[in-house]
Structure 1
Amino acid sequence: MYAALWRVLPGSNATKAAVAVALFLAFVGILFLWVFPAVQPMLPFDQITLESEPTSSAAP
């Protein structure tokens, strides 16, 4: 898949690398701006329940 993407990108190796980095940053930006906020309400990370163990006063 990456080799096919590399062949499709225009220009020299430096241009291809710059375009690949720009595409990666755009992909990460889309994830942080739209995808992660859209799925955040469905994730249970804000529903934390801790159960404490009964403590004993006896020394070991």
Structure 2
Amino acid sequence: MYAWIWRRLPGAWPAKAAAALGIVLAVAAVLWYVAFPRLETKIQFDHGVVQTPAPSTSTSTSTIPGG
């Protein structure tokens, strides 16, 4: 598939590399700004279970060992 795309791009290899980079950046921008925000409302990755550590029973407030 990538070889097919590379053969279809116009110009010598520097122009092909620049065009390929532009295509990759355009696809990434569309995913980042359009697709992912729409999917976030349906998937909601940030609503996971958060576990808090148990409260400490120590009365010492020193964070230096032996201090």
The TM-score bracket by the shorter chain reads: 0.7 to 0.9
Higher fraction of helix = 1
The size of the alignment, in residue pairs, is 56
Q: Rg larger in 1 or in 2?
A: 2
TM-score of the pair, normalised by structure 1 = 0.78
Alignment partner, residue 45 of structure 1: 45
TM-score of the pair, normalised by structure 2 = 0.70
- Answering whether residue 41 of structure 2 is matched by residue 30 of structure 1, we say no
- Structure 1: runs of 5+ lacking an equivalent: none
Alignment partner, residue 11 of structure 1: 11
Backbone CA RMSD of aligned residues: 1.7
- Structure 2: runs of 5+ lacking an equivalent: 58-67
Structure 1 residue runs of 4+, over 3 Å off? 50-55
